[in-house]
Structure 1
Amino acid sequence: MFLSIVIPTYNRAHLIENTLQRVLDQTCDDFEVIIIDDGSTDNTEEIIQPYLSEKVKYYRIPNSERGAARNRGTELAKGNYVNWFDSDDEMLPNHVSFIKELVEKNNKPEVLHVMYQIKDQTTGKTTTIQSSYSSRQRKRKNFLIEGNYLACNPVIVRRDIALENPFIENRNLSASEDYELWLRLLAKYTFVKSAEITSYLIQHDERSVNTMTDPDKLELRFLTFLKYIDTNKQLKEFLGIDYSYFVMRNYLILAVDLAYNGHKRKGLFYLKKALREHKRALNQRVFWATLKHLIF
């Protein structure tokens, strides 16, 4: 089997049916679907029953957050490659077929990624993430230094490598556990990259990155993330002279998140830390966006 599509889900009964239908609409059927229910309290199990088959399997675990759910799905996977797909997003019909072609053309690469668009659930309007993820960045070895442009849906990892490099199962890292893994993999393996768009990330009010507004949790998430990066010797060596710039970028992103959500004092604190970390902070758009939210 070529691909195992692992779908972690938590209280997405009203969304997962659409996701499953889009997965099953693929033009290439060389895949399996593994749904990991992370302790949902809604009727998820009832909703997905009509979709279960030899191809689509369902497993329920105690609530453990997405990293643990994805790891459990990876352990159950039978495909040569693993794709972690969120239960509120959509595949385009060519997602699996294009990935398979990319793998065959590149002699079974270790890690590969395609791209996606962000679709507004209400309006249907789409935004191409490549507007931020430039061709110049794609050519850089450490192309993720500016931020996490990948999400989970477009990243595909060879199963043996996925098993050797699991997601960190730390709740404090929630919403950054994928970024930490991409960086860890980037320091060890070559990524095959394609600008082909094969999925939609659906933007809606319940998305976890939109609901995380508590200042202490925001702060803890970023500091936990930076601690994992700082204690990974191989990754720090990979980032090299860009490490300080990378830390500065993360301080700025934390600062603007805090300021945007009304936590101005903490936002200012991390804005200052970013300036002290790297002088190029002043050249960043996010620096001035943070100032705007702090002033108005």
Structure 2
Amino acid sequence: MEASPLFSVIIPTFNRSHLISKAIESTLHQSYENWELLIIDDGSTDNTKNVVNSYSDKRIKYIYQEHAERSTARNNGIKNAKGLYICFMDDDDYYLENHLELFQNEIEKQKYPVKIFRNGFYFMDKGKLKKSKNYPLNSKVHPVRFWAFHFCSACTLAIHKECLFQNKFPTNYEYWEDTHLILRLLAEFPFQQIPSYTYIYSMYDEMGSRSVFNDGNLRKVCNKNIAAINDLFDASQDLLIKCLPKNTRQKLVSKKYQDYAEAALFYKKRKDSKYFFFKSLSNGIHFSLSLRYAYWLIRFIFSGVVYPKSKSID
């Protein structure tokens, strides 16, 4: 009988045949080799299938589905995964070669716990490679409280499959879906931050924030983010209440509007930026956002100073 892999790496993709090879090859080049790679093609109409099938490694599995967005594709990957731990990667990102090995070292040391492990990631900021925020070692802050206000990303995690039996990505929200799942998981299961940075988070013009702001649907997209936040707290309040202060929902909504106010101003959408700023204030004036309020006011009055780029604000 063929031994089960320790890791199932799940990559959802849609019409990214020109980018996905780097993600595949970064998995092939992992120093730890007991893995399977599930590429979930979310209804691509380009050459994705041929690109994937050009790799002869039997650990790579191609699964096609009708177009249903990223969360459904990821859940499909979870359903088909044979690994004990589930990992994710976006089709335009890649792993450093020790990404899985660092997880494996901790997992074997702890005798394969039902637990969530995380490596940090690198991202580009003004042309420079920078490190993500990591959960502080020996922190007394609950992981749910920490990651509610920092970008975690499912792609940085190795999640024991038992954690995902009753928890999936929300398929009715195309934004904030990572955080929606991650906060639910962290409220139930142990979490460990590995003090390493092994995931490379990319940005392409056709994806993420840039296309959103060029499409002119800012308020619609922002409202989808807010709806996802409210859905999480409506559906999981009993689970989250032990981990979070009572005003967390209001603070998250206010922060999300402020995120959009700043990003809209960067893309010279002044009317939208002003709208989002006052929506942020209407959900409470929070001390932790006070410097950002002041910074926005200065930028709004003296416009023309560029904000840092980011791949995504969801």
TM-score by length of 2: 0.83
Choose from 50, 75, 94 the match for 2:79: 75
Deviation, 1:294, is 3.3
Q: In the alignment, what sits opposite 1:19?
A: 23
Q: In the alignment, what sits opposite 1:216?
A: 219
Identity of aligned pairs, percent?
25
Which amino acid counterpart does residue 190 of structure 2 have in structure 1? Answer: T
Choose from 261, 265, 273 the match for 2:267: 261
Deviation, 1:156, is 1.5
Choose from 3, 23, 42 the match for 2:7: 3
Q: Matches of residues 102-113 of structure 1 in structure 2 within 5 Å?
A: 102-107=106-111, 108-113=113-118
CA contact (8 A) 1:111 1:157 kept: yes
Q: In the alignment, what sits opposite 1:35?
A: 39
Which amino acid counterpart does residue 171 of structure 2 have in structure 1? Answer: E
Choose from 219, 225, 233 the match for 1:230: 233
Cα deviation code 1:17-39 (max 9, x no counterpart) = 11111110011111000000011
Structure 1 residues 285 and 211, CA gap change in structure 2 (3 angstroms)? farther
1:95 and 2:111 equivalent?
no
Q: In the alignment, what sits opposite 2:186?
A: 186
Distance 1:156 1:19 in 2: 17
CA contact (8 A) 2:114 2:162 kept: no
1:54 and 2:87 equivalent?
no
Distance 1:193 1:119 in 2: 22
SS in 1 for 2:170: coil
Structure 1 residues 287 and 218, CA gap change in structure 2 (3 angstroms)? farther
SS in 2 for 1:14: coil
CA contact (8 A) 1:113 1:154 kept: yes
CA contact (8 A) 2:95 2:198 kept: yes
Q: Matches of residues 146-295 of structure 1 in structure 2 within 5 Å?
A: 146-148=149-151, 150-170=152-172, 173-213=173-213, 214-231=217-234, 232-237=236-241, 238-243=243-248, 244-281=250-287, 283-295=289-301
- Considering fraction of residues, name the structure with more helix: 1
TM-score by length of 1: 0.88
Structure 1 residues 8 and 215, CA gap change in structure 2 (3 angstroms)? same
Which amino acid counterpart does residue 230 of structure 2 have in structure 1? Answer: K
SS in 2 for 1:42: coil
- In structure 1, the gaps of 5 or more residues are none
Distance 2:267 2:220 in 1: 12
Large movers: runs of 4+ above 6 Å: none
SS in 2 for 1:199: strand
